[in-house]
Amino acid sequence: MAKHEAVTDLEGAMLGLLARGGPMTGYAISRAFAASPSAFWSGSSGAIYPLTRRLLERKLIAGKATANGKREATEYDLTATGRAAFRAWLLDADRAADMGFDPLRTRLFFLHLASPAQRAQFLEAVEDKTAELSSDEAQASEPPEDRPINRAWLRHRLAWIKGLKARS
């Protein structure tokens, strides 16, 4: 698995979208990121279109003109090289085990600097908003395949928050 095939997490996720539901237009990829409940990747056109160009240059994806009804568009799909790069990214347990960026965890390191009342109010608000993310309305915009994964993640996060409240 050559180093020159290594992809970033955004690239890996984009290749994953194509592996799972491709071929897709740049616009569809953009919408998929924007629909994610995480605000971490905006899925803006300023991120997606330059990225598709780079992946085309590296021959990890290939474009094909299509006439979707009346509207013309370019749909992208994985090449064989792209599929290999995606698998290497997907099964990279070292990177998967990293703690990543968690805006709640980051704040907890400093939460003892706030008053007990502020802490309680904060945890209560975070718990409410987290519970909201599990609601059917919030999940309606997510792809059905993603929902159980996010649900399980949120369930464990709520358990964590409950523990924090009990110990605070």
- For 151, the token pair is 């649900």
Give the alpha-carbon dihedral of 44, 38, 16, 157, to 10 degrees. Answer: 170
Among positions 88-147, residues that touch its own copies (CB under 8 A) are: 89-91, 93-114, 118, 121-122, 125-126, 129-130, 133, 145-146
Q: Which does 97 bind (CB under 5 to 8 A by kind): DNA, its own copies, none?
A: its own copies
Buried b (16+ CB within 10 A) or exposed e, 51-67: bbeebeebebbbbeeee
Q: How far apart are CA 73 and CA 78, in angstroms?
A: 17
Q: Between residues 47 and 73, which has the closer beta carbon with respect to its own copies?
A: 47
Q: Does 26 bind DNA (CB under 7 A)?
A: yes
Give the alpha-carbon dihedral of 48, 54, 55, 56, to 10 degrees. Answer: 110
Q: C-beta of 93: minimal distance to DNA in Å?
A: 19
Residue 137: strand, helix, or coil: helix
Binding site for its own copies (CB under 8 A): 9, 12-13, 16, 19-20, 37-41, 86-87, 89-91, 93-114, 118, 121-122, 125-126, 129-130, 133, 145-146, 149-150, 152-153, 156-157, 159-160, 163-164
**What residue ranges bind DNA (CB under 7 A)?**
8, 10, 25-28, 30-31, 40-47, 49-52, 54, 68-71, 73-74
